[in-house]
Structure 1
Amino acid sequence: MNNREIDRLVAEKVMGWEPNLDDDGTVLSYDTEFGNLFFYDDNENDWSPSVNIQDAWKVVDEMRANREFRFELVTTESFSLNYKCRFRLDDVFVKVVSKSAPLAICLAALKAVGVEVQS
């Protein structure tokens, strides 16, 4: 699964946004509290929480606002380039290790809401 597909899953399953679709079913944008956010694969200004840390923090804020949880983001080892993100929902810990902090946040948030992603 690529980052854009992960971003779309986060938008719908974590953020709760409804997609605006093209005639062929392609997601064009989402109407959100941040305005209309676009999902064109070639536009670096699109909302992309799996890549952009500012967008990933919006995912953390959404989790914090709508769920009882604890958030932790750490590197897995002192010389590692991997990041670990942990969400605690009720008595269940969800842990994900990924190559970037934004991607770790997105994958852990998806896992916390019951969506398993193979990256």
Structure 2
Amino acid sequence: MQAFLGLFLFSVLLTTGASLECETCSNEGNSCSGQKETCDASLDTCMSITTAAGGTTTTSKLCFSKQACDLLKAGKTFSGGTIKEITCKAPSASASLLLALSGLLLIKFLF
């Protein structure tokens, strides 16, 4: 029973320690696509932002802080222009929980 509990706690630690990966890119226009990159530990959200400045629209996707991302809103102006659209996507806790439960079921069937 102790081994079972130990393996379960280990699987939970593994799932919570997983790094966030976000698509990163920047391009003129309303969209961009790029490669996924692992975010620094302090950055917990994938952000997509489209801005307009001087007649040019630019879209960027990057790792960002959820707290800072929540402060930015569409229509907000800044020194370089105006935010047209912004999306902040944090990883869901349910995905980590599902992975932990899957690990638990696997351990149960193996032992």
Question: Which structure has the bigger radius of gyration?
Answer: 2
Same fold (TM over 0.5): no
Going by fraction, where is strand more abundant, 1 or 2? Answer: 2
Normalised TM-score (structure 1)? 0.21
- Of structures 1 and 2, the one with the larger relative CO (CA 8 A, separation 6+) is 2
